[in-house]
Amino acid sequence: QKEVEQNSGPLSVPEGAIASLNCTYSDRGSQSFFWYRQYSGKSPELIMFIYSNGDKEDGRFTAQLNKASQYVSLLIRDSQPSDSATYLCAVDGSARQLTFGSGTQLTVLP
């Protein structure tokens, strides 16, 4: 079992819809959870992080964390074509380093 698993996609949503990206992790000692966005041919860039159970909102983005279920998600409201990218879930576990999922490719259709 992979340490960090993401829905593999690809995921397509129409412009203006909500995109839902999911991630599960296996290390119960994990403390912080990060979502990165990676455009094709570019390096990953941080969208947001979360470390407390519940929701955290930043503009059109909402991260949700449920440590009991070892589940973290990212919701993108009012999706735009510019949101089309690969989204990487990263988990800061007991090894003091980030473990990344394989990513979910999102396409927002105009």
Partner 1 sequence: DAEITQSPRHKITETGRQVTLACHQTWNHNNMFWYRQDLGHGLRLIHYSYGVQDTNKGEVSDGYSVSRSNTEDLPLTLESAASSQTSVYFCASRRGSSTDTQYFGPGTRLTVL
Q: Report in angstroms the alpha-carbon separations of 3 from 44, 79, 84.
A: 19, 29, 25
Whole-angstrom Cα distance, residue 33 to residue 53? 11
**Residues 6+ positions from 89 with CB-CB distance below 8 Å:** 4, 6, 21, 23, 25, 33, 34, 35, 72, 74, 100, 101, 103
Choose the stretch contacting partner 1; rule: CB under 8 A; options: 17-25, 63-71, 75-83, 96-104.
Answer: 96-104
What residues between 15 and 34 interact with partner 1 by CB under 8 A?
A: 31-32, 34
Residue 62 beta carbon to partner 1: minimum distance, rounded to whole angstroms = 18
CB-wise, 17 or 99, nearer to partner 1? 99
16, 42, 57, 109: which one contacts partner 1 (CB under 8 A)? 42
19, 76, 85, 90: which one contacts partner 1 (CB under 8 A)? 90
Check residue 61 for interaction with partner 1 (CB under 8 A): no
